[in-house]
A and B are shown apart, each in its own frame.
Chain A
Amino acid sequence: MPKLKLPAPPSNPLTSPKRPGKEYGPSGPLGHAEEAGVTAVDWIDERTSLSGGLRWGMFRKVPKGTNWFYTLGSSTMFAFLSQAVTGVFLAMYYDPSATRAYASIQYINNEVFLGEFVHGMHRWGSSVMVILIFLHMGRTFFFGAYKYPRELNWVIGVALLVMTMTMSFSGYLLPFDQRSYWATIVGVNINGTGPLVGPYLSEFLRAGPYFGATTLSRFYAIHMLMVPGAIAALMGFHLYLVAKLGTTAPPWVKAEAPEKLREDKVTVDQ
């Protein structure tokens, strides 16, 4: 009895097909390096599926007419990142105790390599960020970008604004020179005049009924842990919504259906 040939065993399902144009495998050191990179990215992606999210965020379309005003939001974020990085370097030398804070800042300014420069970037970066956040808010306001369906993004934005101002207020005390000390006392007193929560708020800020030794460390914790963490989280949510809903088109750009789909252009062959 003649035997039928056995079917070929299935090819190993775990080897992926060759990339197009690379039938003969990677060639040369450059090819191998490329292959290694692709393999590493594949390895991560197989376990996280991050590439889908990245593609979703990066290759979404921005509407027709998007202009330079739309860069104000990302510049605000960039200024925040600059504050975060310079802040980390300042925190390496800063000492949040009422007796040593001033000396530690003097040390940063006079002894540390590029210390005054980084300190200056942090100080003026705060002004830049405040200006940018107001400009960004103005842009979204005058473009009517807070309307349906982006209401929630506006509300989150206002929360970001309040927290940015809180950062400025709490950071102002940290150098612990005369200006910052007395301005903060007046500022805390002003908070204290508020109805209902005012007295509690100022007592929380001072860490007690009087401005004392623990006030500075409380401001420090607020300034470098509490508020920046909240800002980073809300910023992430803000950006998620931006990608999800898309950015608005400038209000004066009209939506026009593509030419061939317009009703009045359709002609019937006779």
Chain B
Amino acid sequence: MNKQEKEQYLRDYGTLKSQGKPFFPYAVAKDGAMAIVVMAVIIAMAIVLGAELGPKADPTSTTYTPRPEWYFFFLFELLKVIKPPALVPLATIGVPTICLILLFLLPFYDRGPERRPERRPIATTAGIFVVCAIGYLTYLGAAAGPPTEIDIPIPANISSQGPEAVTNFKAGSAVVAQSGCAACHQFGENGNSGPGPALTNIGARLPAQAIQRTLINPSAPMPSFSALSEESPEQFAQMVGFLAALK
């Protein structure tokens, strides 16, 4: 907006304002009505949905689901869209930071005098696109519940080693399933395809030693399983054994 357009705006606005109504009581009445609606919604949700607590936090436990509050789903889903590990920082921080800077600076690069949405095609299209993208990613996040069961056929080399190996494999599978790994990794048909890499053939790519190291000292955002390895080494060993057997 140049100087003339600014003056024009202020003049027009002055006219519109002088033809308006006083804030009190007209706008205050509307705001008050809306406040009552907001209060009623919050009270209704508190009564209907309550405030349940899950099981107590346990750093050594293996039954957790690392899921954020629903309005962070879209950020979490962004992690799944961008796959290659080298680009993960880009997804986690880069894209949100750039979006935030663009949002902060909006009034400084969109300086045209036009305010009607239908005459600001770029701004309106971008706005609608962002609304749809956030809505879609939130929906994806809500739909992708973390699976708690992993259903993988027992590999031939395990079944040939006798019943004990099979029991261990199954136990390891249960530990992995309950640990919420499938929220971020894919195991054959099970699990979400990201943000972590698929683990269907992890045993072919990494030896058991390396798998163990990764579990204890993972690269972010994966949580570390060092507490599990200290508190219940048996379960941890089953977990490593199961992963190493996936070939």
Interface residues of A (CB under 8 A from B): 57-66, 68, 70-72, 74-75, 78-79, 82, 102, 105-106, 109, 116-128, 130-132, 138, 141-151, 154-155, 158, 161-162, 165, 168-169, 172, 175-183, 185-187, 189-195, 198, 211, 246, 248-249, 251-253, 255-258
Contacts and interface: CB of A to CB of B under 8 A. Distances in A.
B160 interface: no
Contacts of A154: 106-107
B211 interface: no
Interface of B: 1, 6, 9-13, 15-24, 26-28, 30-31, 33-35, 37-39, 41-43, 45-47, 49-51, 53-59, 61, 63-72, 79, 88-89, 92-94, 97, 100, 103-104, 106-108, 110-117, 120, 123-124, 127, 131, 180, 220-223
A248 B106 CA distance: 17
Contact of B56 (A71, A102, A126): A102
Contacts of A117: 46-47
A130 to B, nearest CB: 5
Given A106-B53, A165-B72, A252-B116, 7 more contacts: A71-B31, A131-B71, A142-B124, A147-B113, A158-B103, A175-B54, A179-B54
A190 B20 contact: no
- Central interface residue in B27, B37, B110, by most chain A CB within 10 Å: B27
A190 B106 contact: no
A187 B109 CA distance: 32
Contacts of A143: 115, 117
A120 B100 contact: no
Given A128-B41, A182-B223, A187-B68, A120 B61 contact: no
Contacts of A192: 220-221
Nearest to B104: A158
Contact of A62 (B21, B59, B66, B123): B21
User: From DSSP, what is the main secondary structure of chain A's interface residues?
Assistant: helix
B38 A138 contact: no
Contacts of B53: 102, 105-106, 109, 175, 177
User: From DSSP, what is the main secondary structure of chain B's interface residues?
Assistant: helix
A177 B31 contact: no
| A-B residue pairs, 3 tightest by C-beta | A120-B46, A144-B115, A194-B93
- Central interface residue in A71, A119, A128, by most chain B CB within 10 Å: A71
Given A123-B51, A146-B107, A147-B110, A186 B42 contact: no
Contacts of B1: 147-148
A63 B106 CA distance: 24
A141 to B, nearest CB: 6
A61 B18 contact: yes
Contacts of B92: 190-191, 193-194
Contact of B34 (A74, A141, A145): A74
Contact of B16 (A63, A74, A127, A185): A63
A62 B27 contact: yes
Contacts of A58: 22-24, 28
A128 B45 contact: yes
Nearest to B37: A75
Nearest to A90: B51
A179 B67 contact: yes
A132 to B, nearest CB: 7
B200 to A, nearest CB: 22
A191 B39 CA distance: 34
Contacts of A130: 71
A230 to B, nearest CB: 16
B34 A75 contact: yes
Contact of B66 (A118, A138, A183): A183
Contact of B67 (A161, A183, A246, A252): A183
